[in-house]
A = this chain, B = another copy of it.
Amino acid sequence: MLNKLMSQNALIDVNLLILWGATFKKYQKNEIIFFEGEMPEFYFQIESGCIRMFNDAQNGKEFTQGLFSSGQSFGEPALLLNKKYPANSEAIKDSVIIKLSKVRFNEMLEDQVELRKKLLTLMCERVYQKSTNSKSLALDGAEERILRFFTNFKEDVNNKIVIPFTRQEIANFLGLRIETVIRAISKLKNEGRIEIVKNKILV
């Protein structure tokens, strides 16, 4: 039942992927799927779990480019352009991923008109999202960046949600340091722009 639901929401129907020769692979939490600089070999789609793409810096800092969960694909731009991956990808929970070889994926893409349309829309969304993100990175201070991250994260503006990330994770998302995040969050709280309940962040 759950499986069926996910199947419907997936970018590419799982059965169709299997038909074209895709295989499943399990990844442990913290396992790396590909490294920045590698050439893409596969199309990846998440069956279950959660993946993040991120960049490392020399000083131990990280920057998270994006989080992806069930039904979503990741790393497509590099695959389609045949360029080196611009970031690492890592399972942040135990995950199952469906992979399809580059060659078969390209054949499939050639064959499936609707898939190309879906992908076009998806890539537009990614560009759009990255635009607003870059803007925030370039122009906003820590407080505004953090708040924007929270409000972007919750789709539904009406309901309050609990932010399911540690301060360290938030820091990595935004290219900030954990102490900066902590201080900015306590400021946001004092300004009444967020709520803290039992140390959990409510937005």
Interface residues of A (CB under 8 A from B): 55, 57, 61, 63, 65, 76-78, 80-81, 83, 86-87, 113, 116-117, 119-121, 123-128, 130-135, 137-140, 174-175
Tell me which residues across on chain B come within 8 A of A86, comparing CB atoms: 128, 131-132, 135
Knowing A86-B131, A120-B119, A127-B126, say if A139 contacts B80 (CB, 8 Å). no
**Binding site secondary structure of chain A:** helix
User: Hey, which chain B residues are within 8 Å of A138, CB to CB?
Assistant: 55, 63, 137, 174-175
30 example contacts (A-B, Cβ-Cβ < 8 A) are as follows A55-B135, A55-B138, A57-B139, A57-B140, A63-B135, A63-B138, A65-B131, A65-B134, A65-B135, A76-B124, A77-B125, A77-B128, A78-B128, A81-B124, A83-B128, A87-B131, A113-B113, A116-B116, A116-B117, A116-B120, A120-B120, A120-B123, A123-B123, A123-B124, A123-B126, A126-B127, A130-B131, A134-B137, A138-B175, A139-B175
Interface centre among A77, A81, A116, A134 (most CB of B within 10 A): A134
Q: Which residue of B lies closest to A36 (CB)?
A: B135
Minimum distance in angstroms from A109 CB to a CB of chain B: 9
